[in-house]
A and B are shown apart, each in its own frame.
Chain A
Amino acid sequence: MQKQCLNSETIADYLEGRLGPHDRESVEVHLAQCRSCLEDVLVARQVFRQRSADCMKAVPPAVTQRAIAGLDGTNSGTLWDALSARFKAIFLESSRLLHGIGYPFPDALAPVRGSKVKVSDDLVLLSQSFSGLDTEIEIEKTDSCQANVKVTIFGTDAGQLPVRVSLVKNEREVASYLVGRQAAFFDAVPFGQYALVYTRNGANLGKYDFTIKETGHGGTDV
Chain B
Amino acid sequence: MCAMSTENEKALLVGCCRGEREVQEAFIRRYSNLVYSTILHTYKAKGHVCPDQDVDDLHNTVFMRLLERRCRRLRQFKGKNGCSLASWVRMLSVRTVIDHLRQTRDALSHPSQIDDDQALFHLQADIPEPWKLLDRRRQTDAIRRGMDALVPRDRLFLKLHCLEGLPLREVAGIMNVSENNAYSLKHRAIKRLKAAIETDSCLGE
- Most B CB contacts (10 A, CB to CB) among A11, A33, A56, A59 go to A59
Instruction: Write the chain B residue with the least CB distance to A64.
Output: B32
Residue-by-residue, is B47-77 near A (CB-CB < 8 Å gives 1, otherwise 0)? Answer: 0000000011001100110011100000011
- Most B CB contacts (10 A, CB to CB) among A19, A23, A56 go to A56
Q: Could you tell me the distance between the alpha carbons of A142 and B64 in the complex, rounded to whole angstroms?
A: 13
Q: Could you tell me the distance between the alpha carbons of A7 and B44 in the complex, rounded to whole angstroms?
A: 23
Residue-by-residue, is A34-57 near B (CB-CB < 8 Å gives 1, otherwise 0)? Answer: 000011111111111011001011
The reply to whether B78 and A59 contact each other, CB–CB distance below 8 Å, is no
A67 close to B (CB within 8 Å): yes
Q: Could you tell me the distance between the alpha carbons of A19 and B98 in the complex, rounded to whole angstroms?
A: 24
Q: CB within 8 A of A50: which of B45, B60, B80, B156? A: B45
Inside 8 A of B160's CB, which chain A residues have their CB? 38, 42
Interface residues of A in 141-158 (CB under 8 A from B): 142, 148
Number of A-B contacts (CB under 8 A): 143
A32 close to B (CB within 8 Å): yes
A71 close to B (CB within 8 Å): yes
The reply to whether A75 and B45 contact each other, CB–CB distance below 8 Å, is no
B: contact size bracket: 35 or more
The reply to whether A142 and B45 contact each other, CB–CB distance below 8 Å, is no
Inside 8 A of A63's CB, which chain B residues have their CB? 32, 36, 55-56, 59-60
Q: Could you tell me the distance between the alpha carbons of A188 and B43 in the complex, rounded to whole angstroms?
A: 33
Interface residues of A in 10-44 (CB under 8 A from B): 11-13, 15-19, 23-25, 28-29, 31-33, 38-44
Q: A67-B28, A70-B60, A70-B64 are in contact. Are A9 and B77 (CB under 8 A)?
A: yes
Q: A18-B83, A43-B46, A57-B36 are in contact. Are A64 and B28 (CB under 8 A)?
A: yes
The reply to whether A56 and B37 contact each other, CB–CB distance below 8 Å, is yes
B79 close to A (CB within 8 Å): yes
Q: A12-B88, A25-B153, A40-B95 are in contact. Are A54 and B159 (CB under 8 A)?
A: no
8 A-B residue pairings within 8 Å (CB atoms): A9-B91, A25-B152, A31-B156, A46-B45, A47-B90, A59-B32, A75-B60, A148-B69
CB-CB nearest 3 A-B residue pairs: A59-B36, A32-B152, A46-B45
Q: Which A residues are closer than 8 A to B by beta carbons? A: 7-9, 11-13, 15-19, 23-25, 28-29, 31-33, 38-48, 50-51, 54, 56-59, 63-64, 66-68, 70-71, 75, 142, 148, 187-188
